[in-house]
Amino acid sequence: MTRRGQGGQARAGDLLELVRSGRATTRGALQQATGLSRATVGQRLDRLFRAGWLREGAGGPVDSPLGGRPSITLEFDDEHAVVLAADLDTRHARAAVLSLNGEILAEQAGAQSVEDGPDAVLGELGGWFAGLLEKAGRRAGDVCGIGLAVPGPVDSETGRVVQPPMMPGWDGYDITGRLARAFTERTGAPAVPVLVDNDANLMAYGEQRAGYPDCSAFVLVKVSTGIGAGVVVGGSVYRGVDGGAGDIGHIRVGAEALCRCGSYGCLAAVASGWAVARRLAEAGVPAESGSDVRDLLAAGHPDAVGFAREAGRRVGDVLATVVTLLNPGVLMIAGDLAGTPFLTGVRELLYQRALPRSTAHLDVVTSRLGERAALVGAGALVVEHLYAPEAAEERLRALGV
């Protein structure tokens, strides 16, 4: 049985969830799953059809041994709206228009420094979104929501970053309000819901849904300018009590290096892309950021390869504890340093320090979606939020259906 609304009966939003999840995709199956009468199921579905959220698909198999007409299947209409998504890193950004099933319809990437401050950066993203909608051939009115990934801890209740070590001037800023206004200013369309989350969280969510939907405990570690982890348990992002879960870059590892957060001895101070770039610069190799290290690794630069492998060993030492605690089925390494040298270092220390029981059924892999992972995750977050039963009911009422 599905969840019930006030009064004990399944709502239109509950039926939508059953169809979207594939648990019930015919009228008969919905009656069985909800206990509603045929007439009531029809009334609920009529609201969803009038909103444009459902469509009829091909006929399903005939279940009765006596034959008869096949049951008409019901499908979520993923063409009735689009989602906008953006992924901010410290020095560049990526944005896209996505379909409701996660397909990228138009995409843009370019330089964008978070140090320019939230007002300027979010205003610029509004302009990107306007251009991308035109490129995708979609109207601004087709947008149902916006998802944003940021390189810092986020309070999911407010959408505000909390003491982000790499985002000066962003602490407590009203990101959702500013981005909604920027979208309206640049497109003329009414404001839409904006959801904000940490980039590693959204990368993990996107990768897990796209490539490992059956994995009940999934961990992604992003190693770029900083280091962060996203954890997906039971299909949902685990954020902790106020969005601080996964901030492994600030675990103390006993080193004397000064971190960008102001403390000494953080993992990020010795094993992030920024830390490797600093070591390369000290060795006379021009490098300022994780993306510079990525380019040097792609070229096979020997110092970059050696430092990346050493950084991997540092991270692998910490991940031995993470794996022991969470017992994930997949540990994914992503970000600028996610190549063979770094991954080799991770595996060396991880398998050396973790108990065999913790790694017996563990796959250590690299990203499948690459630079698009956070975009896909941000889009999925918006869709799951807007079409969840409670939100769907509110939206249907607002549409007058």
- pLDDT for 129-165, tens place per residue? 999 999 999 999 999 999 999 999 999 889 999 988 8
Q: What is the pLDDT of residue 292?
A: 93
Give me the count of residues in the chain: 401
203, amino acid identity: M
Q: What is the pLDDT of residue 297?
A: 96
pLDDT averaged over 10-residue windows placed end to end, the chain, 401 residues: 60 97 95 96 97 85 53 93 96 96 97 95 97 97 98 92 91 97 96 96 97 97 94 96 90 89 93 95 93 95 97 97 96 95 96 93 95 97 97 96 93
Alpha carbon distance 253, 234 (integer Å): 30
DSSP track, 289-303: SHHHHHHHHHTT-HH
List phi, psi (to 5°) of 112.
Answer: -165, 115
- Alpha helices (H) along 114-266: 118-136, 175-187, 199-211
Q: What is the pLDDT of residue 69?
A: 59
Other C-beta atoms closer than 10 Å to the C-beta of 98 total 25
Q: What is the pLDDT of residue 225?
A: 87
Alpha carbon distance 299, 295 (integer Å): 6
Q: What is the pLDDT of residue 3?
A: 53
- Written in H, E and C, the secondary structure of 98-121 is EECCCCEEEEEEEECCHHHCHHHH
Alpha carbon distance 168, 166 (integer Å): 6
Q: What is the pLDDT of residue 1?
A: 45
Q: What is the pLDDT of residue 57?
A: 86
The first and second tokens of residue 259, run together, are 């971190």
Q: What is the pLDDT of residue 114?
A: 94
Q: What is the pLDDT of residue 268?
A: 95
